[in-house]
Structure 1
Amino acid sequence: GGGAVSAAITAWVADATREEVRTRAMAMVGSSIGLSFALSLVLGPLLVKYLGLSGLFWVITGLGIVCIGIATLLTPVVDMSTKSMSNASVASVFFSPELMRLNYGMFVLHASLMALFVLMPDLLGRMGIAVGNLWTVYLPVILVAIVAMIPAIIRIETRYKHKEGLIASVLVLLAIALLWAVNLSSFWWTAALLTVFFTAFNVIEALIPSMVSRVTPIEHKGLAMGLYNMAQAIGVAFGGFVGGYVLQYYSEVSLFLLIALLYASWLVVAFSSKFSASKS
């Protein structure tokens, strides 16, 4: 359900924005997701404490109803293409080399995120951060990362350097994975790397859906965004399974080396991209 909502939102944002500001619009969407994640770490335990678990789900239900109202009453209508999709055109979206490259990147990005957060609560716990206080790390890290992302996104978009920005961000993620493999003992080292990680992560989260929308005909954007979100969901499942398996049977260093290997494979794929942002 979340994937379906996400696909519809990203497709709508792509249709409602001009190409020259689309990456910034996607960055705003991604930032709101990151901020909501951070706030949920703070508010979730408080809601359970004062309202109980059932109360938490009633709050979620109420927020869902509010979102339905916003989507129905406040969201402007965007002119949509009335072209129908043939089987051949659907296949062209599924097997588009450029979309497959971008979807692979989204798979790796979220697989690495989930694998990292299989480890992170335990790692921070050994550094003296109790589970109930993890938000004191995550919230400032995400807020700083959102602010740090903004100039990078503006520079990338105004110079039409989407491919170069993506490759640079993946290189940053690769470097972080290797640095973590070298040193896992310092809290401030971990906090600093988390901040840089989420900065690069947020940049990529804004770039990929913008790039997907640019290489997809308007009548196929909904399908393309659905595939993009499916790759993201598969990455989450893969990262959770593999992250837990590696930590159980191998070591933390092995996990970071595996994540680095995934980033290296992504770099190969990204370098082979033929993507070019239009300046028209």
Structure 2
Amino acid sequence: MSKLSSLERRSALTLACVISLRLFGLFLIMPVFSLYAQHMPDATPLLIGLALGVYGLGQVLLQIPLGLLSDRIGRKPAITLGLLVFAAGGLVAACSHSLLGIVVGRALQGMGAVAGAGTALAADLTSEENRGKVMGIIGVSIGVAFLLALILGPPLEAIDGLSGLFAATSILALAALMLLWLIVPAPARRKAPAAAALGSVLAMLRDGRMLVLNGSVFFLHMLLTASFVGLPLLLADRLHLPVNRHWELYLPVMVIAAFVMGACLHRMREVAQSLRIVAICVVATGLGLLGFGLSGDHLALLGVTAAVFFSAFNLLEAALPSLVSRLAPASLRGAAMGAYSTSQFLGAFVGGAVGGIALGRLGTEGVFLCAAALTLVWLPLVLAGRRRIAGDASMDADAVAGAARGA
């Protein structure tokens, strides 16, 4: 197995900090929002779900344009623009006194759509054989940010309320911006060649392999966001665990998930191995969600199913973008990662809406059971895509062998 070069190591660690700082700001809201939003004067289950997931709508509108922009003007300027918009959205939400105002602020935060350009920058700065490891490092950093947000969100909310949490998201975005320009290396190639025209972009987006991967990240974040409509309520109402003690569940769960990630990183070197992990993780995600819905008042059972769910989530967060970066044309990598991130955040938006509707009609347990049922749609997509990608790889290998014999 090749080792990371000093440039790749520096790129991976600093980009992980940039990406995780921004996501830490988003994650801070998740463990407490549904608990406190239900006490706002204009609160309804649907509006709570929309406020949690609406940032995905802005991401959907701007991920591909910002990905293309990063191919043209460079990754760093495009990411800078997105981080500034994200910070402005946090300030709007912090100054709002109604749930509708928070929805507007969260939507504006979502318009800071830098995930595609950021992941493309990571791919630009690493070799193909090490890209899975770099994405794994970034995935671990996201997991750590997620863990810290779950632990720190409730006490920070107690200090300065939801407004303080939203203000913190803006401060973290500006800190990420400083890291981007002071520490993250600049890639050698900043622009796509002239061949990266609209027709090429559309052809890449219609590629069956990209559709499978984009569909997978859509389902992943739809289910994650839906689960966080119900999970804080499950812990507080069913298990009677005060919000300032929710970390007692999250801490061991995320430590286990980090160990699982570390143990599986070396299996992501090849496309076939990564696809096998993706299929296994889809099944694990469904089982975890089913466990949430059936755990009742058994905290130990909830802990086991949470470990399964978040281990699968962390592995998918590393495997899926690595596959996209390896299968997309190099000249269209920013656009490909933009499309991937568009699907990711569309999933978050739909998940918030689905979770809110399910909460209002089926109750807390119904949120998880509805989400678990949706994995039965996701799994056939992954299995069919795995066969498609493996078949394409076999055809490419035959073509290379034929060209070698002809030479």
Decide: shared fold, TM above 0.5: yes
Q: Which whole-Å CA distance do the structure 2 matches of 1:230 and 1:204 have between them?
A: 16
Q: Which whole-Å CA distance do the structure 2 matches of 1:161 and 1:246 have between them?
A: 35
2:126 — aligned with what?
17
1:91-170 pair list within 5 angstroms: 91-125=202-236, 126-157=238-269, 160-170=272-282
1:185 CA drift (Å) = 3.0
Distance 1:130 1:223, change over 3 A: same
1:236 — aligned with what?
348
1:160 CA drift (Å) = 4.8
Q: Secondary structure at the match of 1:4?
A: coil
Q: Which whole-Å CA distance do the structure 2 matches of 1:86 and 1:63 have between them?
A: 35
Q: Which has the higher contact order (CA 8 A, sep 6+)?
A: 1
1:275 — aligned with what?
389
Task: State how many pairs are aligned.
Answer: 280
Q: Describe the superposition over 1:65-92 as per-residue Cα deviations: whole angstroms up to 9, x where unpaired.
A: 3322221121112122541321211111
1:250 to 340, 362, 369: 362
Distance 1:120 1:23, change over 3 A: same
1:164 CA drift (Å) = 1.0
2:333 — aligned with what?
221
Q: Which whole-Å CA distance do the structure 2 matches of 1:249 and 1:128 have between them?
A: 22
Q: Which whole-Å CA distance do the structure 2 matches of 1:94 and 1:159 have between them?
A: 19
Q: What residue identity is the alignment partner of 2:358?
A: V
Q: Which whole-Å CA distance do the structure 1 matches of 2:128 and 2:361 have between them?
A: 47
Q: Which whole-Å CA distance do the structure 1 matches of 2:266 and 2:315 have between them?
A: 10
Distance 1:111 1:57, change over 3 A: closer
Q: Which whole-Å CA distance do the structure 1 matches of 2:272 and 2:130 have between them?
A: 11
- Greater CA radius of gyration, 1 or 2? 2
Task: Give the superposed CA RMSD.
Answer: 2.6
Is the CA contact (8 Å cut-off) linking 2:154 and 2:243 kept in structure 1?
Answer: no
Q: Which whole-Å CA distance do the structure 1 matches of 2:150 and 2:289 have between them?
A: 24
Q: What residue identity is the alignment partner of 1:244?
A: G
Q: Which whole-Å CA distance do the structure 1 matches of 2:329 and 2:150 have between them?
A: 38
Q: Which whole-Å CA distance do the structure 2 matches of 1:152 and 1:47 have between them?
A: 33
1:252 CA drift (Å) = 4.6
Are 1:83 and 2:197 counterparts? no
Distance 1:240 1:91, change over 3 A: same
User: 215-224 vs 61-70, which deviates more?
Assistant: 61-70
Are 1:34 and 2:148 counterparts? no
1:194-209 pair list within 5 angstroms: 194-209=306-321
- Gaps of at least 5 residues in structure 2 are 1-85, 87-109, 398-407
Q: Which whole-Å CA distance do the structure 2 matches of 1:180 and 1:55 have between them?
A: 30
Q: Describe the superposition over 1:19-75 as per-residue Cα deviations: whole angstroms up to 9, x where unpaired.
A: 222222112212212222222233344445556766655654443333222211211
Is the CA contact (8 Å cut-off) linking 2:234 and 2:364 kept in structure 1?
Answer: no
Distance 1:48 1:261, change over 3 A: closer
1:171 — aligned with what?
283
Between the aligned residues of both structures, percent identity stands at 34
Q: Secondary structure at the match of 2:389?
A: coil
User: 264-273 vs 80-89, which deviates more?
Assistant: 80-89
Distance 1:72 1:109, change over 3 A: same
- Gaps of at least 5 residues in structure 1 are none
1:12 CA drift (Å) = 0.9
Q: Which whole-Å CA distance do the structure 2 matches of 1:40 and 1:64 have between them?
A: 15
User: 215-224 vs 250-259, which deviates more?
Assistant: 250-259
Distance 1:220 1:144, change over 3 A: same
1:123 CA drift (Å) = 1.1
Q: Which whole-Å CA distance do the structure 1 matches of 2:326 and 2:220 have between them?
A: 20
